[in-house]
């Protein structure tokens, strides 16, 4: 069987992490209860295998890949319980798994073989501070009528569209958690938030970036670049290591990351289908 692990017991799966995974930003953010996520295991007392579901983002499998007590129930679990939990937690309708090694890939391909799934790659980038400082000299200036502000309680409470509140709810258990453990900046036009760059996943001094421009009419003005610039300058000043990752098919995100001084580090295959 596959069981949902209580949050107070998330630390139990730490023993399943490989040496490479022990410092993984996303896994630590979920295990430490910093960012939203759900963990499912074969045995709640002594787990051998686990599925870490990063709310609204992806699923990651760790532990014993040959554990039939877990694997034999996985297809039914994904099609039923995980589908329900994904929709109830964030309105999600897709299953996307990040493949950590070839053995897990073989098993998971078999588990979802009845599905018409798509293959992609999650690309991970490393920040090059020197390259960023060189590139930012060529960025456009902020257009007249726009301002960049740090995201604080006042900005969030005065947002008429509640955009930032909705975005934070995707990644954080509460707005207070975000304000105490993270930070972000937004481009504003009047009192409306047009674009924002914020930390969506945090483990100590490692921060994963989420950036988006919310109004289609405001795109291609360089706003995302400029708000990311302020965010990255904050990282440099405070000893924070920013992280950038995106799917290989997300051309715009890859271009923006490179424009900001991020350089290719590694990639993992992903499998995805709509429930």
Distance, CA of 220 to CA of 216 (rounded, Å)? 9
Percent of the chain with pLDDT over 70: 100
Please say whether the beta carbons of 246 and 257 come within 8 A.
Answer: yes
CA angle 218, 243, 47 (to 5 degrees): 125
Beta partners for residue 127, in sequence order: 262
The per-residue pLDDT for 22 is 95
Domains defined for the chain, CATH in brackets: 3-115 (3.40.630), 124-267 (3.40.630.30)
Pair 108, 99: CB distance under 8 Å = yes
The yes-or-no verdict on residue 164 having pLDDT over 90 is: yes
Q: Is the pLDDT of residue 263 over 90?
A: yes
**Given this model, what pLDDT does residue 38 score?**
98
Model confidence over 55-90: pLDDT tens digits?
A: 999 999 999 999 999 999 999 999 999 999 999 999
- pLDDT on residue 117: 97
Find out whether 199 and 207 touch, Cβ atoms under 8 Å. yes
Q: What residues contact residue 251 under an 8 Å CB cut-off, 6+ apart?
A: none
Q: Are strands 118-127 and 241-247 parallel, antiparallel or unpaired?
A: antiparallel
Q: How far are the Cα atoms of 1, 39, 75, 91, 101 from residue 107, in angstroms, in the given order?
A: 17, 19, 11, 27, 10
Q: pLDDT tens-digit profile of 204-245?
A: 999 999 999 998 889 989 999 999 999 999 999 999 999 999
* Phi, psi at 20, each rounded to 5°: -70, -30
pLDDT at 149 over 90: yes
What pLDDT, in 10s, does the model give residues 78-121?
999 999 999 999 999 999 999 999 999 999 999 999 999 999 99
Task: Report d(CA 117, CA 105) in Å as an integer.
Answer: 13
The first and second tokens of residue 141, run together, are 């200036």
pLDDT tens digit sequence for 15-71: 999 999 999 999 999 999 999 999 999 999 999 999 999 999 999 999 999 999 999
pLDDT for 248 equals: 98
| Residue carrying the six token digits 């909705």 | 166
What band does 138 get if pLDDT is binned at 50, 70 and 90? very high
Asked if pLDDT for residue 191 goes beyond 90, the answer is: no
User: CB-based contacts of 245: which residues, under 8 Å, 6+ apart?
Assistant: 122, 123, 124, 125, 208
Q: Note the pLDDT of residue 249.
A: 97
Token reading at 214: 């919310």
Sign of CA dihedral 94, 247, 236, 185: negative
């Amino acid at each position: 069987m596959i069981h949902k692990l209580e949050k107070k017991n998330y630390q139990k799966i730490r023993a399943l992490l490989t040496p490479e995974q022990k410092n993984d930003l996303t896994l630590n953010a979920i295990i430490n209860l910093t960012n939203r996520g759900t963990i499912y295991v074969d045995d709640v007392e002594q787990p051998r295998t686990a599925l870490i579901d990063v709310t609204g983002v992806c699923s990651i499998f760790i532990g014993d890949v040959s554990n039939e007590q877990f694997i034999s129930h996985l297809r039914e679990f994904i099609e039923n319980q995980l589908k329900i939990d994904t929709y109830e937690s964030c309105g999600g309708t897709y299953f996307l798994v990040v493949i950590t090694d070839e053995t897990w890939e073989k098993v998971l391909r078999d588990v979802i073989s009845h599905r018409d799934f798509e293959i992609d790659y999650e690309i991970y980038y490393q920040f090059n501070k020197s390259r960023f400082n060189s590139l930012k000299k060529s960025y456009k200036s902020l257009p007249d009528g726009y301002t960049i502000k740090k995201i604080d309680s006042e900005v969030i409470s005065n947002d008429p569209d509640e955009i930032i509140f909705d975005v934070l709810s995707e990644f954080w258990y509460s707005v207070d958690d975000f304000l105490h453990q993270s930070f972000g900046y937004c481009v504003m036009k009047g009192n409306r938030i047009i674009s924002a760059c914020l930390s969506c996943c945090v483990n100590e001094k490692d921060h994963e970036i989420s950036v988006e421009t919310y109004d289609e009419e405001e795109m291609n003005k360089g706003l995302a670049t400029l708000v990311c610039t302020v965010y990255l300058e904050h990282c440099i000043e405070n000893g924070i290591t920013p992280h950038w990752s995106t799917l290989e098919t997300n051309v715009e995100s890859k271009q923006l990351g490179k424009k900001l001084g991020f350089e290719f580090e590694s990639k993992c295959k992903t499998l995805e289908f709509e429930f």
